[in-house]
Chain A
Amino acid sequence: MLWDIAVQKTYQNRFRTFELNIKLKSEAKRLVLFGPSGSGKTQFLKMLSGLITPDTGHIRFFSEEFFDSAKGILKPPQKRQLVYVFQEYALFPHLTVIQNIGFSLYKNWINPPKNIYLPEIDKWLEKFELKPLAYQFPHQLSGGQSQRVALARALVMSPKALLLDEPFSALDESLRNSLRQELSELQTMLGVPMVLISHNKEDVMHFGEEIIHLSDGKIISLHI
């Protein structure tokens, strides 16, 4: 089983209570979480990556245990090798494009040097046509360029899965279509499982192999 998930978490403040309760088994390599904002999509995706810990339940991926409240298992995000790609990309603003991409290849206390050269970085610079931008800083990039850098930064560490939070939302219509196509080809080429969040019907139709419709923290329908 690719994904075997049952998570529950209650968010509470003075004004309201929100309960996220999702049970899901899936073999889909292209899973799309669809639903209005505030339905718990991002929280759910962050639970898969380990950035948020559910109150109870379990998360298994290829029968590897990431989280199990009953057995007291909790793997930190660093040990999961699932890369979460943020909606706003979260490129490190103090590092150049090439340093951003090489970030995960350096595990010690020092960032990759400015003149870093590694074949795996070069491969992704080439693939995403980022070579001319290698020494630029994130604030000098357009939305589409930032998106590619974020993807390259994720893929360079050969993740076991990609978790994409609204990957196209910051892009205009034409860019959106081409990136959707590109991402689809990439998935086919690499075979890496992807879980993607969207509230756009077209993204869902073009990309999804299995679609999970969320509302108010619950699954309201599944389309396969």
Chain B
Amino acid sequence: MDEAWIALRLTLKVAGFATLINLIFGIGIAYVFARKKFWGKDLFDAILTLPMVMPPTVLGYYLLVLFGKQGSIGHFLNSKLGINLIFSWQGAVIAAAIVSFPLVFKASRAAFESLEPQYEQAARVLGVSEWAIFFRVTLPLAWRGILAGVLLSFARSSGEFGATLMVAGSIPGQTQTLSIAVFEAVQAGRDDVANFLVLLTSMVCISVLLASGKLIPGRLIEAR
């Protein structure tokens, strides 16, 4: 059953990094969308939300085209930096991050937009810079809404199957995450392994849900 634990560790690593990427980009981009006016905002919003509605295999295909050796980004990474993302765990991270990006983006944007503007305005007249206001007022007040999206993104990343399989393949110990390992085990008729993997996956999911239940209702702050 060692392979199951290896798959679990890999899954947590991939989901962890994917969530970290979304934490930075998802929150940053959501803030810009919530506060700024710019041309084509609705169109960009739709493009950024696409991963939520498109089949993961289609996304995986896009990623292969972009990050493959002949792809525009893949060619650059390979020739200039010697990095090849296809069939690597880093590729699985990219796939998981993109698939779960809309969850952080949507939740964060809603959280920022529902904030009363008077708190940021009050901070402004007290002489605090815009960047400091983001970290000291905006983020702490919107945090609960953002966290919900971040946890969902972690759960979605750890369950990612379609795009990951297309981009990173199914190399045991390298790119074979839990959900892919379950598929492989069933295909190979190894029911005992499949049973154990399914049990393990269910327990991880329950832990994430319990953690989110603990974190989200939390301390009740009257955010009027």
Is chain B found bound to chain A in the same assembly?
A: yes
- Residues of A participating in the B interface, judged by any CB pair closer than 8 Å: 49-51, 76-84, 86, 88, 90, 92-94, 103-104, 106-111, 137-139, 153-154, 157
Residues on the A chain within 8 Å of B119, using CB: 90, 92-93
Complex Cα distance, B221 from A137, in Å, reads 9
Query: In the complex, A137→B61 CA distance in Å?
Result: 52
A109 & B140 in contact (Cβ 8 Å cutoff): no
Q: Looking at the complex, which of B19-27, B28-36, B40-48, B131-139 is the stretch in contact with chain A?
A: B131-139
A51 and B126 contacting across the interface, CB-CB below 8 Å: no
Are B221 and A84 touching (Cβ within 8 A)? no
Which residues of B105-152 have CB atoms within 8 Å of chain A's CB atoms? 116, 118-119, 121-129, 131-132, 135-137, 140-141
Interface residue tally of chain B, by bracket?
20 to 34
Further pairs besides A77-B124, A107-B129, A137-B221: 10, Cβ < 8 Å: A77-B121, A78-B128, A86-B122, A90-B122, A92-B123, A93-B222, A93-B223, A103-B128, A107-B127, A110-B136
- Check A88–B127 contact: CB distance below 8 A: no
A76 to B131, CA, bound (A): 14
CA of A103 to CA of B132, assembled, Å? 11
Q: List 19 A-B contacts (CB under 8 A).
A: A49-B125, A50-B125, A51-B125, A76-B124, A78-B125, A78-B127, A78-B129, A84-B121, A84-B122, A84-B125, A94-B140, A94-B141, A94-B221, A103-B123, A109-B132, A111-B140, A138-B222, A139-B221, A153-B126
* Residue B224, interface by CB 8 Å: yes
In the bound assembly, the distance between CA atoms of A157 and B127 in angstroms comes to 9
Query: Known contacts A93-B222, A94-B141, A139-B222; is A109 also within 8 Å of B135 by CB?
Result: yes
Of B116, B126, B131, B223, the residue contacting A104 (CB under 8 A) is B126
Closest to B220 in A: A139
Shortest beta-carbon distance from B223 to chain A in Å: 5
